[in-house]
């Protein structure tokens, strides 16, 4: 197995314990400042390539109004994040037998007024998404800027998670959640740890 190289700030025992007890966790100060700056640059330089997330395969959905860009090999900086999540997946597989095989991810941009209504990323196990992760990469987020993530944990307790810069929210993909309307531009990478192989 490849040597594990998770950032020092990731407390694996805490992550596993939170997931086990509550079905979600939060990783703060996820990456070093220089990497964060490179990622913000890569994201903002590519904003003109983002597409309306509500339109998929020609079908228009009313539950979300954000814009996304799927991450392929050409987005080299974001690939490091995906690689780190692949390392974490191996730990999840060993601890929880999740059978995660791959990570799919997109950048997301919520401009002021945009939201994502209540949903599950994997309702009734209909797809291979096991774990959802959201990394927040805007460089500032104030309390009254909206855009909070509401999440119902596995014990049916609601949580309000602030999209703080350099934070990762990580949760079981079958949990109910929503993104409240953002009042400022909100930038993130959503990544799913999947037990199947998904062709983008």
Structure tokens at 111: 């401009």
Binding mask 133-172 for ligand AKG (x = CB under 6 A): -x--------------x-------------x---------
Per CB under 6 A, 177 contacts ligand AKG: yes
Q: How many residues bind Fe ion (CB under 5 A)?
A: 1
State which residue, 54 or 91, has the beta carbon closest to ligand AKG. 54
Stretch that binds Fe ion, among 37-45, 47-55, 66-74, 113-121 (CB under 5 A): 113-121
Exactly one of 18, 42, 104, 121 binds ligand AKG (CB under 6 A); that residue is: 121
| 121 near Fe ion (CB under 5 A) | yes
- Rounded to 10°, the helix 33-45/76-96 angle is 120
Q: What angle do CA 34, 149, 193 make, to 5 degrees?
A: 65
* Complete DSSP assignment for 90-147: HHHHHHH-----EEEEEEEEE-TT--EEEE-SSGGG-SSEEEEEEEE--S---GGGB-
Q: For residue 189, give both structure tokens.
A: 């990478």
Residue ranges binding ligand AKG (CB under 6 A) = 108, 116, 121, 134, 149, 163, 177, 179, 188, 190
């Amino acid at each position: 197995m490849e040597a594990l190289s998770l950032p020092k700030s990731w407390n694996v025992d805490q992550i596993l314990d939170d997931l086990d007890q509550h079905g979600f966790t939060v990783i703060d100060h996820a990456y070093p400042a220089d990497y964060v700056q490179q990622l913000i640059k890569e994201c903002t330089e590519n904003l003109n390539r983002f597409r309306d997330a509500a339109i998929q395969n020609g079908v228009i959905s009313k539950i979300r109004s954000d814009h996304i860009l799927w991450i392929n090999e050409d987005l080299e900086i974001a690939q490091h994040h995906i690689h780190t999540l692949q390392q974490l997946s191996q730990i999840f597989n060993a601890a929880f037998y999740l059978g995660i095989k791959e990570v799919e991810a997109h950048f997301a941009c919520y401009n002021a007024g945009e939201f994502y209504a209540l949903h599950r990323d994997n309702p009734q196990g209909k797809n291979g998404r096991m774990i959802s992760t959201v990394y927040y990469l805007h460089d500032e987020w104030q309390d009254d800027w909206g855009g909070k993530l509401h999440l119902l944990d596995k014990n049916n307790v609601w949580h309000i998670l602030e999209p703080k810069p350099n934070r990762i929210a990580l949760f079981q993909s079958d949990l109910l959640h929503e993104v409240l309307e953002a009042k400022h531009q909100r930038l993130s990478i959503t990544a799913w740890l999947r037990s199947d192989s998904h062709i983008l």
